[in-house]
Amino acid sequence: MGAQSAGPLVVGVDSSTQATKALVVDAATGTVVARGRAPHTVSDGDGKESDPRQWWRALDQALRQCGAAARQASALSVGGQQHGLVTLDAAGEPVRPALLWNDVRPAPQSERLIAELGGPESWARRIGSVPTPAFTVAKWAWLRAAEPAAAAATAAVRLPHDYLTQRLTGQSVTDRGDASGTGWWASSTESYDARVLDHVGLSPEALPRVALPGEAAGTVRTDELPVPRGALVAVGTGDNMAAALGLGLRPGAPVLSLGTSGTVYAVSPRRPADPTGTVAGFADARGDWLPLACTLNCTLAVDRVAALLGRDREAVEAGGTAVLLPFLDGERTPNLPRASGLVHGLRYDTTAGQLLQAAYDGAVFALLQALDRVLDEGTAPDAPLLLIGGGARGRAWRETVRRLSGRPVVVPQARELVALGAAAQAAGLLLGEDPAAVARRWGTARGPVYEARERDAAVWDRLAATLADGDALLRR
């Protein structure tokens, strides 16, 4: 990133599934002057839940690790994990732990909502997305059915980043990007959808106001955190929208993110509406759109396969006929919430390294299969693929993406792109600039370029055939 200067300092926060990360960044140059990180606890039972109050404690710890730099910040912004259901009582306290995006218990409610409100095409046309179990609307419907007392005690519903922003500012506010992942914010009208809310028994008064892009959420009104009272607070956004800001994305640039989940997305000037449900028609944080496909099983699933095989995650071997679909935790793309992993094509001469490579292939295939639906028509077939997330640093992940995509791959050197995107949003608010332009000035997308390889058609076709033939088994 750019050379150090004496510009004002801003804080970017990434409140993810596993941890809260905070960066203090020079608004003029993008130089990271301090960083902090504190872990979260996620339940490992039937569902995936976290106490929202621990996010606040983790934010405090991460900021304290930033030292004096955090206490000099002029503005801050929070990027947070999408879809999570935070239920608050009349006093603003959590009614129960938050249901996280990767909790698949609402699968029956998701299916019923789609059927009861006109089917997939109707949802895509009105809302912009067909709600999978990840979507907040399905989680609220599950809560009403499974825990009616908790639903009745709920006076306010928030997304994870909204909860932190509200505790910072005292204001009930969200942004269009994160709101577009709820299932009750309609991309067709850019407002809450009364029909959906009425159907799931939720009052619009229980939801935060949706701010305009570039609008402030307020100012810091708490002394609980080591940041200046009165510092500007940007409205924040969802983690994928923040990462897009952090890269300074322009339309037509595809992104593949390899983390706990895997995602493919691109900024588009056209409102997406995919009736198959493969692509979520999200809004971005600026006023454009962010069509996105997400898989539940990515780096953690492949690491689990490596552990079962007793191999280092990089110890892959080419060749063989094995196919492995690593749907260890259900799956979102394809929409198979009850699926488990599937191995096919084992032979006596299959090696552990080949089986591990097959796990990489299966995870990457699920993402690349959705890429064509994400990209606008006319996007160049050889447009470089920006590879981000923890997996982007691994050679096996990078080479698998090159071999199955047929595209050049760029690995940005900048890390913590969600926190950087939140910092760019805070800097844009402070300086009166487009946050994506701020990130481009910081040079966040620069990194080594790996030339395109010819797509491995044999592996691609084998994966496609196994997925099609195993559909009935995967849906059990």
Query: Tell me: the pLDDT tens digits for 200-227?
Result: 999 999 999 999 999 999 999 999 999 9
Percent of the chain clearing pLDDT 90 (strictly above): 89
Integer Cα distance of 247 and 255 in angstroms: 9
| pLDDT computed for residue 332 by the predictor | 84
Distance CA 126, CA 185 (A): 9
Chain-centre distance for alpha carbon 111: 22
Q: How confident is the model at residue 134 (pLDDT cuts 50, 70, 90)?
A: very high
239 is catalytic: yes
Q: Which residues pair with 191 in a beta bridge?
A: 186
Mean pLDDT of 76-82: 97
Residue-level pLDDT at 69: 98
On the question of pLDDT at 3 being above 50, the answer is no
Q: Confidence band (pLDDT; 50, 70, 90) for 246?
A: very high
Choosing from 239, 284, 288, 361, the catalytic residue is 239
Residues forming a β-bridge with 32: 25
CA-atom Rg of the chain in angstroms: 21
Task: Give the tens place of pLDDT for each residue, 329-356.
Answer: 889 888 888 899 999 999 999 999 999 9
**In this predicted structure, what is the pLDDT of residue 241?**
97
Residue with tokens 């691994």: 394
Does residue 280 contact residue 261 with C-beta atoms inside 8 Å? no
Q: Which residues have C-beta within 8 Å of that of residue 458, sequence separation ≥ 6? A: none
Q: What is the pLDDT of residue 378?
A: 73
Decide if pLDDT at 18 tops 80: yes
pLDDT tens for 159-213 read 999 999 999 999 999 999 999 999 999 999 999 999 999 999 999 999 999 999 9
| CB neighbour burial string for 63-81, b if at least 16 within 10 angstroms, e if fewer | bebbeebbbbbbbbbbbbb
Residue 106 in tokens: 């609402």
φ, ψ of residue 436 in degrees (nearest 5): -65, -35
The confidence band for 6, taking pLDDT boundaries of 50, 70 and 90, is low
CA distances from 387 to 143, 145, 148, 268 (A): 36, 40, 43, 18
Q: How confident is the model at residue 424 (pLDDT cuts 50, 70, 90)?
A: very high
* Residue 179 near residue 136 (C-beta atoms within 8 A): no
Does the structure show a pLDDT above 70 at 320? yes
Calpha distance 13→70 (Å, rounded)? 11
Is 2 a residue whose pLDDT tops 50?
A: no
- Residues 257, 290: contact at Cβ < 8 Å? no
Query: Around Cβ 279, how many Cβ atoms within 10 Å?
Result: 27
pLDDT at 337: 87
Express each pLDDT in 366-398 by its tens digit: 999 989 889 877 787 888 999 999 999 999 999
Q: How far apart are the first and last CA of the chain?
A: 49
How are beta strands 237-238 and 342-344 bridged, if at all? Answer: unpaired
Strand partners, 325: 342
Structure tokens that stand for 177 in this block? 């990007």
Residue % of the chain over a pLDDT of 70: 99
Residue 150 has pLDDT above 70, yes or no: yes
Residue 473 — very low, low, confident or very high, per pLDDT cuts 50/70/90?
Answer: confident
Q: Angle at which helices 417-431 and 239-247 pack, to 10 degrees?
A: 70
- Token pair 């129960």 is found at 96
Arithmetic mean of pLDDT, 134-162: 98
> What is the model's pTM?
0.92
CA distance 306 to 10: 40
Q: Which pLDDT score is estimated for 471?
A: 81
Per-residue pLDDT for 5 more than 60?
Answer: no
Tens of pLDDT, residue by residue over 279-319, are 999 999 999 999 999 998 999 999 999 999 999 999 999 99
Q: Of 72, 70, 63, 12, nearest to 36 (Cα)?
A: 63
Q: List alpha helices for 281-380, DSSP H.
A: 299-309, 352-374
Q: What is the mean pLDDT of residues 3-29?
A: 89
Tokens at residue 159, please? 């997304």
- DSSP code, position 272: P
Q: Which of 65-79, 106-120, 347-361, 368-382 has the lowest mean pLDDT?
A: 368-382
Residue 285 CB-half CA count within 13 A: 39
Residue 1 reports pLDDT greater than 60? no
Do residues 106 and 179 lie in contact, with contact meaning Cβ atoms separated by under 8 Å? no
Mean pLDDT value of segment 98-125: 96
